[in-house]
Structure 1
Amino acid sequence: MKTFNFIIGVISFVALSFTGNNAFAQLTLPRVSQQASVSQKVGITTITINYSRPSVKGREIWGKLVPYGMKNLGFGTAKESPWRAGADENTTISFSDDVSIEGKPIKAGIYGLHIVAYENSDATIIFSNNSTAWGSFFYNPKEDALRVNVKTKPINNEELLTYDFSKVTPTSTTVSLKWSTKEIPFKIEVPVTKIVMNNIRKELQNSPGFSNQSWIQAANFALNNGGDLNKALDWINKAISGQFYSKKTATNLLIKSRILAKMGEQDASIKILDEASSMANKRQLNAMGYQMLNQKQNDLALKFFKLNVKNNPSDPNCYDSLGEAYKIIGNKKNAIKNLKKALSLNPPANVKANSEKLLRELGVKI
């Protein structure tokens, strides 16, 4: 009798185990629609899409499996639902910084991604503040963060639903959903310079701020990417003499000169360049000479090129650059003299080719 009661007790325990807290536990098995994630950086901004990938499997997709327009799905709280833009849970898209989609701004964050396709080539992309719902069954238009209208494109059959970043530029990307015979693209634009400038301000208050090179990089970025020139000047001044890690070098003086020139302060820019010339290496002096040629400061350009020849009397490239400068300003005699000198010093192939080209242009037979 005790043995029978023990067996009954074991059976009851096993039964309770399957009807208690673990009643909805499931095995981990492969999904029919595989999960996927794609990501792209634009500048320092990360864009990520998480979705499930259904297959066509010979079915008619557009207008059938994915109905045109909004539809009552017969379940959940939504009276009308868009397509979930994938399978199973919400398709989500996230932005690590504020961006614009089809010209409309949207804040950094994670959004549920939904699509309304129409029978013509129109579609509406919906970015919902609700990113944790299951599909579109609980879609609420009041939770929309943004809607944009786009045009679809016909494509050859794409068996697996696919998201990719079909175009990428330094400040934008185009996301394309491709499935069956239709592509639905939308453009994301990123204010890269603004984001990077804000990030630099923060990073300079942390460990990167204890490196002279960080302040130089910050000023150089602002100079070359349309950033705030006043801030760029402040940063390069700190790199030169503003902080305990500062050090005056030809490199940071050259950057300061370029910043001042871009701000329209030509006299101050030239004064800084003149100071930098005493510290500049061969490459830097060459760059300074060409910078002055571009600014039509021919006398100063010649000064820098001649100083480079004086400092490096056996370097053919220095003579080649001086000869080119004379050619540009119209002094044929001295141009030929220095270009021939460059060729006499057994120059590397690129310098030889440039000197010979310039001499031919001056009417000299090679």
Structure 2
Amino acid sequence: MKKTIIACTVLLMTATAHAQFNSVPSGGNKRASVSEGIGITQVTINYSRPGVKNRDGHIWGEVVHKGFADLGFGTSKAAPWRAGANENTTITFSTDVKVDGQPLPAGTYGFFVAYDPNESTLIFSKNVSSWGSFYYDPKEDALRVKVKPVATDKSVEWLKYEFTDQTPSSATVALEWEKLVIPFRVDVDLVNTQIASFRKELRGSSGFIWQTWNAAASFCVQNNTNLEEALLWADTATSVSTGGTLSFQAWSTKAAILDSLGRGQEAIAVMKKALPYGDVNELYFYARNLAHLKKGKEAFDIFKMDYDKHPDEFLTNAGMARGYSALGDYKKALVYAQKARAQAPDILNKDRLEKMVKSLQEGKDIN
């Protein structure tokens, strides 16, 4: 009896030591965390990494039990696998997401797997503070999805999570261990989450400068969404209160929104107001866009305005070459292209001008 009490005391002291000190993880299982952004959504997984440890061929279906099992401890009589080691694995989504097409609100979840070689069940639980799955309760499930495990030739010694197949609004999260991958797809509503973030941030300190209002408005016009509210944001960006009254960027964003709303004449008027505020680069790239859109006369006028303000400079000579090319006057365009080539500040620009000169000599448009 006395030995039993002493043994229990030692176990308690050991558990307490692990709780109080930064010690080696139980069983040598490595603690790990992986985080990745999907759009503006941050996905973070905290877990411990068990090793195969010469148990090849005995992990899936043995070390990782199939389905739900009575683990002989805790309150759960039908527990899934903890999807890692030691404390239960957790996954955090900073915004609402969809997991394999099913909605899941923003938050932190305990992550469990009911393994089956044909179709595993992934469980996102509201329980995030337990040790393993000994206290798993299906009543705490926030979401279950079924996925197909994928066998691989390459063996992974230490369990890990990776993000693959990334797009601006999605990624595949892959649990990899031994010769098996359990993947699931995470999708975010990039546009709506970004707009919701803008609305929140513009009410804080970010709302005191024109650049943030312009960034929000510009995002909307680029994605052709939320244009009416974007116009209000553009109005604020060009106001005295935020300091954007002399900003070419802010005024041109407003013009683009008006154009997208079908208010073309108002857009033209706003751009006329914006032009005097443009610097050499802003005017050049605005004119380039017009030339690309086959608006030759409008493009030439802006290139000429830029040249008149900054005569005989590399960028404005290149602009005049593009302007005359947009009008179909390749002979005059060639003169300015050759001037710009001689003024090229680096090899990259020199090579670009060489190509422009060659195209113009062959009677081809360079826009």
TM-score of the aligned structures, taking structure 1 as reference length:
0.84
User: Match of 1:243, SS?
Assistant: helix
Structure 1 residues 319 and 205: CA distance shift in structure 2, 3 A: same
Alignment of 1:47-66 (within 5 A): 47-59=43-55, 60-66=58-64
Q: 2:139 aligns with which of 137, 142, 157?
A: 142
Distance, in Å, in 2 between the alignment partners of 1:54 and 1:354 is 54
User: Match of 2:68, SS?
Assistant: coil
Matched, 1:34 2:26: no
Matched, 1:276 2:279: no
User: Match of 1:46, SS?
Assistant: strand
Q: Is the 8 Å Cα contact of residues 239 and 248 (structure 1) preserved in structure 2?
A: no
Distance, in Å, in 2 between the alignment partners of 1:210 and 1:119 is 56
Distance, in Å, in 1 between the alignment partners of 2:86 and 2:266 is 64
Distance, in Å, in 1 between the alignment partners of 2:244 and 2:307 is 30
Deviates more, 1:171-180 or 1:74-83: 74-83
> Unaligned stretches of 5+ in structure 1?
1-14
Distance, in Å, in 2 between the alignment partners of 1:244 and 1:88 is 52
Q: Is the 8 Å Cα contact of residues 216 and 230 (structure 2) preserved in structure 1?
A: yes
Deviation of 1:248 after TM superposition, in Å, equals: 3.1
Structure 1 residues 39 and 354: CA distance shift in structure 2, 3 A: closer
Deviation of 1:167 after TM superposition, in Å, equals: 4.2
Q: Is the 8 Å Cα contact of residues 52 and 88 (structure 1) preserved in structure 2?
A: yes
Give the AA of the match of 1:320: A
Structure 1 residues 242 and 230: CA distance shift in structure 2, 3 A: farther
Q: Is the 8 Å Cα contact of residues 86 and 131 (structure 2) preserved in structure 1?
A: yes
Alignment of 1:88-127 (within 5 A): 88-120=86-118, 122-127=119-124
Deviates more, 1:325-334 or 1:185-194: 325-334
Distance, in Å, in 1 between the alignment partners of 2:54 and 2:269 is 74
Structure 1 residues 181 and 313: CA distance shift in structure 2, 3 A: same
Give deviations 1:199-241, integer Å, cap 9, x for gaps: 2212221222122222222222333345422222211111212
Deviates more, 1:229-238 or 1:326-335: 326-335
Give the AA of the match of 1:143: E
Distance, in Å, in 2 between the alignment partners of 1:203 and 1:153 is 42
Deviation of 1:364 after TM superposition, in Å, equals: 5.8
Deviates more, 1:259-268 or 1:184-193: 259-268
Deviation of 1:115 after TM superposition, in Å, equals: 0.7
Give the AA of the match of 1:187: R
Deviation of 1:362 after TM superposition, in Å, equals: 3.5
Give deviations 1:60-113, integer Å, cap 9, x for gaps: 111111122222334433332221111233221111211111111101112111
Q: 2:229 aligns with which of 225, 231, 245?
A: 231
Q: Equivalent pairs: percent with the same residue?
A: 37
Distance, in Å, in 1 between the alignment partners of 2:340 and 2:189 is 47
Distance, in Å, in 2 between the alignment partners of 1:238 and 1:319 is 35
Residue 82 of structure 2 corresponds to 84
Give deviations 1:103-153, integer Å, cap 9, x for gaps: 111011121111122133x32211112222332233232322111122222
> What is the RMSD computed on CA atoms of the aligned residues?
2.7
User: Match of 2:357, SS?
Assistant: helix
User: Match of 1:79, SS?
Assistant: coil
Deviates more, 1:172-181 or 1:320-329: 320-329
Q: Is the 8 Å Cα contact of residues 83 and 114 (structure 1) preserved in structure 2?
A: yes
Deviation of 1:288 after TM superposition, in Å, equals: 2.0
Distance, in Å, in 2 between the alignment partners of 1:141 and 1:205 is 40
Distance, in Å, in 2 between the alignment partners of 1:336 and 1:76 is 82
Give the AA of the match of 1:177: L
Q: Is the 8 Å Cα contact of residues 284 and 303 (structure 2) preserved in structure 1?
A: yes
Q: Is the 8 Å Cα contact of residues 113 and 126 (structure 1) preserved in structure 2?
A: yes
Distance, in Å, in 2 between the alignment partners of 1:99 and 1:350 is 42
Distance, in Å, in 2 between the alignment partners of 1:154 and 1:270 is 59
Residue 185 of structure 1 corresponds to 183
Distance, in Å, in 2 between the alignment partners of 1:180 and 1:351 is 51
Alignment of 1:1-366 (within 5 A): 26-28=16-18, 29-30=23-24, 31-32=26-27, 33-59=29-55, 60-120=58-118, 122-155=119-152, 156-241=154-239, 243=241, 245-343=243-341, 346-348=343-345, 349-363=347-361
Q: How many residues align?
A: 346
Deviates more, 1:261-270 or 1:309-318: 261-270
Distance, in Å, in 2 between the alignment partners of 1:158 and 1:340 is 58
Structure 1 residues 274 and 142: CA distance shift in structure 2, 3 A: same
Distance, in Å, in 1 between the alignment partners of 2:77 and 2:142 is 19
Give the AA of the match of 2:168: P
TM-score of the aligned structures, taking structure 2 as reference length:
0.84
